[in-house]
Amino acid sequence: MPIAHTSTLTAGQRQGKVGFMRRAPKHPAPEGFIALLQEGMKTRKISLNQLAERAGFSPAFLSRILNKQRGLPSDKTILRLAEELDLEPRERLLIEAGRIPEELKQPLNRPEIPALLRATGKLSEIDLQKVIKTAEALALRQQRGRKRT
């Protein structure tokens, strides 16, 4: 008569449900992303639970992101968090996540843009605002010129 093998593991352990440790995600949320979320919650005086509820997902989901136990959520979810925290510009949280907002991908591919970004990075806030106003005026003039033709 064959000897039956008895396991010392419970059924839950054999199925991987008991004593299961999550592996750290390959791409956890960057420190800047986490800091901006925490700063936003502190500024708005809302808890993790309140932010999660307002954004439409579980507190555990948000907690795992903040504790680097889960990778970054989708761009849509990141923008929803930024909206709930009233971050301006909303894309700032995406950028801290290491993502490029969709509407900026094409302009960023222009070869002149890296030089422009490096040059403006050294400007004062006032000078940077002047550059933005000048660029907006030029874009508006170009747009009006296209409409006439």
pLDDT in tens, 112-148: 998 998 999 889 999 999 999 999 999 999 988 877 6
Exposure pattern of 105-123 as b/e (b: 16+ CB <10 Å)?
eeeeeeeeeeeeeeeeeee
CATH code for the domain in which residue 61 is found: 1.10.260.40
Q: Are residues 125 and 66 in the same domain?
A: no
For residue 61, is it within any domain? yes
For residue 96, is it within any domain? yes
Domain membership of residue 45 as a residue range: 31-105
Q: Are residues 99 and 36 in the same domain?
A: yes
Answer with the residue of higher pLDDT: 47 or 25: 47
Q: Are residues 64 and 50 in the same domain?
A: yes
| Amino acid (1-letter code) at residue 99 | R
**Total number of domains constituting the chain:** 2
Q: Are residues 95 and 118 in the same domain?
A: no
Beta-carbon neighbour count of residue 92 at 10 Å?
A: 16
Q: Are residues 77 and 130 in the same domain?
A: no
Q: Are residues 47 and 101 in the same domain?
A: yes
Cis before 89 (ω within 30): yes
For residue 137, is it within any domain? yes
- The span from the CA of 34 to the CA of 42, in Å, is 12
Question: What is this structure's pTM?
Answer: 0.68
Indicate if the pLDDT at residue 1 is higher than 70: no
* Cα–Cα distances in angstroms (integers) from residue 140 to residues 38, 41, 131, 149, in the given order: 37, 37, 14, 15
* Cα–Cα distances in angstroms (integers) from residue 17 to residues 12, 21, 63, in the given order: 5, 9, 21
For residue 2, is it within any domain? no
Q: Are residues 35 and 101 in the same domain?
A: yes
Q: Are residues 43 and 65 in the same domain?
A: yes
Q: Are residues 95 and 126 in the same domain?
A: no
Q: Are residues 82 and 127 in the same domain?
A: no
